[in-house]
Amino acid sequence: MAFQVSGQTYKGHVESMSDQIEQKVVSYRRHFHQNPELSNREFKTSEFVAEKLKSLGLEVKTGVAKTGVVAILKGGKPGPVVALRADMDGLPVPERAPLEFASKVKSEYNGQEVPVMHACGHDTHMAMLLGAAEILTSMRKDIKGTIKFIFQPAEEGAPRGEEGGAKLMIKEGVLENPKVDAIFGIHINAQTEVGKIKYRPEGTMAAVDILNITVKGRQSHGAYPWLGVDPIVVSSQIIMGLQTIVSRQIDLTNQGAVVTIGSLHSGVRSNIIPEEAKMEGTIRTLDANMQNSIHERITRTATNIAESAGATAVVDIHREYPITFNDKELTEKTVPSLVKAAGKDNVSLTKAVTGAEDFSFFQEKVPGVFVFVGGMPKGKNVLETGAHHTPDFFIDESGMKTGVKAYCFMALDYMDAKK
């Protein structure tokens, strides 16, 4: 039987409080949005988060994985340990949305001054989790277990040469003392209608691998190409060859995949065929077996094409993020919590996403569920809304209340079921 809070069911209490604090959550979001900070540089952001958590009387630890914040809520009754996670970093993107609270922040990124924007909704994630923390703290004596609130830096990736993100938080013990039994995360989605929640059991977001290929030919005068081996032409052939891996060599009825070359650099003058060309790309897969197969096929394709032209190709593939894999049993048990937050008609399955999330590192250690909360204004369609990671990215703030409730119900229902 579900517990009660001050004579209300806990569902009624969460709904009532989420209404009461809705404008406070909006104000948090606007503060974060107007003051974004880049990965591993979330100094003022973490100060603001820590201050709000301390004001709730929570046990707060700062400086986790450089700028991360972790707060612990010990319930009045024994039970499991649940973690709720939100990410904190902005992106080097200029803001075009005509908002009163639009970002005007500039910061240093890879040696250049760049505009900074919360172009992926991490401002809403923090605001929603702060709202959930306030509601859950008000229920402290009735809570059956412990809740860890994890505010994570550098989800978008640490700066060059630095560690960061979920991986570093785990390394520094965020899932220990007390040991976490399950973890839940939310991502706002600008292409899902406000008020709706999307979820998917098992493979939800793609694994990310960074691909680097160096092609070595033989330098010559541009007027005498037959005296050299042109690494630019060879690179072009390799790029075209890589596209046939997904379109002609992979069973796409199983799982989709993406191989994209995003940069190609070679040469310094128009009349010199250079000795070397370098390309960099990304690989996205939703199945571990397919991931391994694509790696092997990329290496074979690049080296064989280069060899056929008298060049060589050195292939380096770095596994960056694993698959965001929602524990199947935990996901099934979490769906009723999502229904409480959004209503039965507003909760549905989603297709797999070829974007990626370092929440996946947490899921490698403990069972976890990652869901999507809608932020697209009603009446709009996906072509009318600014996409994530773009200057026009836009979120309807009314969708955050659904996220606040989802955080609360996922934690409360998990703990209530563990008797």
Q: Are 321 and 360 in contact (CB under 8 A)?
A: yes
Q: Rounded mean pLDDT of 88-117?
A: 95
Q: Is the pLDDT of residue 68 over 80?
A: yes
Q: Known binding site: residues? A: 120, 122, 156, 187, 389
Q: How confident is the model at residue 1 (pLDDT cuts 50, 70, 90)?
A: very low
What percentage of the chain has pLDDT greater than the value 90?
92
Intrachain domains 4-205+323-417 and 207-321 with the same fold:
no
pLDDT score at 6: 61
Q: Rounded mean pLDDT of 196-203?
A: 97
Domain 4-205+323-417 is found in CATH 1.10.287.1080? no
**Has this prediction a pTM greater than 0.85?**
yes
Q: How confident is the model at residue 20 (pLDDT cuts 50, 70, 90)?
A: very high
pLDDT score at 383: 75
Nearest to 199 by CA among 296, 328, 360: 328
Q: What is the mean pLDDT of the chain?
A: 96
68 or 8: which leads in pLDDT: 68
CATH ID of 207-321, from 3.30.70.360, 3.40.50.1000, 3.30.390.30, 3.30.565.10: 3.30.70.360
Q: Known binding site for Mn(2+): residues? A: 120, 122, 156, 187, 389
Q: Rounded mean pLDDT of 355-361?
A: 97
pLDDT score at 2: 62
Structural domain boundaries in the chain: 4-205+323-417, 207-321
pLDDT score at 313: 99
Q: How confident is the model at residue 7 (pLDDT cuts 50, 70, 90)?
A: low
**Active site residue ranges:** 321, 397
DSSP bridge partners of 312: 216
Q: Is the pLDDT of residue 330 over 90?
A: yes
Q: Is the pLDDT of residue 4 over 80?
A: no
